[in-house]
Structure 1
Amino acid sequence: MWYSVLHKSRIHTSVHFLKKAAHNLKGKSTADQRWIVRQLNDPFVKAAHVQNYRCRSAFKLLEIDDKYKLLKPGFNVIDCGAAPGAWSQIAVQRVNSNGANAEFPCGTVVGVDLQRIAPLNGAHFLSNHDITDPVTHCKLLELLPGAQAHVILSDMAPNASGLKEMDHEKLITTALCLVDLADKVLRSGGSLVCKYWDGALAYQLQEKLSAVFREVRTVKPKASRKDSSELFFLARSYRDIK
Structure 2
Amino acid sequence: MRQPVAILTNCIIRRFVQTQNNLHHAKQQPNNLKGKSKSSQEWLTRQLADPYVEKAHMLNYRCRSAFKLLEMDDKYKVLKPGDVVIDCGAAPGSWTQVAVERTNANGKIERSPRGAVFSIDLLHFHAVPGATIFGGMDFTAQLAQKRLRESLAGRQVNCVLSDMAPNATGVRMLDQESITNLCYEVLRFALAMSAPQANLVIKIWDNGDVPKLERDILCYYEKLKRVKPRASRGDSSEHFLLAKGFKGAPTLTT
Q: Secondary structure of 1:65's match?
A: helix
Structure 2 partner of 1:104? 112
For the residues of structure 2 that align with 1:2 and 1:99, how far apart are their CA atoms? 22
Would you say the 8 A contact 1:108–1:144 is kept in 2? no
Question: Which deviates the most, 158-167 or 44-53?
Answer: 158-167
Would you say the 8 A contact 1:176–1:208 is kept in 2? no
Structure 1 partner of 2:89? 81
Would you say the 8 A contact 2:192–2:249 is kept in 1? no
CA offset at residue 142 of structure 1?
A: 2.3
Would you say the 8 A contact 2:139–2:145 is kept in 1? yes
Deviations 1:19-75 (A, max 9, x none): 8x9343111111111111000000001110111100000000000000011111000
In the alignment of these two chains, the number of paired residues is: 231
Structure 2 partner of 1:26? 34
CA offset at residue 2 of structure 1?
A: 6.3
Q: Which amino acid letter does the alignment assign opposite residue 3 of structure 1?
A: I
Structure 1 partner of 2:205? 197
Q: Secondary structure of 1:110's match?
A: strand
Structure 2 partner of 1:165? 173
Question: Which deviates the most, 40-49 or 124-133?
Answer: 124-133
Would you say the 8 A contact 1:113–1:129 is kept in 2? yes
Q: Give the RMSD, CA atoms, in angstroms.
A: 2.0
Q: Secondary structure of 2:13's match?
A: coil
Structure 2 partner of 1:206? 214
2:72 corresponds, among 41, 61, 64, to 64
Would you say the 8 A contact 2:104–2:113 is kept in 1? yes
| TM-score with structure 1 setting the length | 0.90
Deviations 1:109-147 (A, max 9, x none): 000101102111001111111212222222222222643
Structure 2 partner of 1:188? 196
CA offset at residue 217 of structure 1?
A: 1.2
2:159 corresponds, among 151, 158, 163, to 151
Is 1:177 paired with 2:185?
A: yes
Would you say the 8 A contact 1:196–1:230 is kept in 2? yes
| TM-score with structure 2 setting the length | 0.85
Q: Which amino acid letter does the alignment assign opposite residue 95 of structure 2?
A: W
For the residues of structure 2 that align with 1:138 and 1:159, how far apart are their CA atoms? 24
Would you say the 8 A contact 1:195–1:231 is kept in 2? yes
CA offset at residue 4 of structure 1?
A: 5.2
Q: Secondary structure of 1:109's match?
A: strand
For the residues of structure 2 that align with 1:212 and 1:82, how far apart are their CA atoms? 24
Q: Which amino acid letter does the alignment assign opposite residue 119 of structure 2?
A: G
For the residues of structure 2 that align with 1:166 and 1:134, how far apart are their CA atoms? 23
1:3 corresponds, among 6, 13, 32, to 13
CA offset at residue 165 of structure 1?
A: 2.4
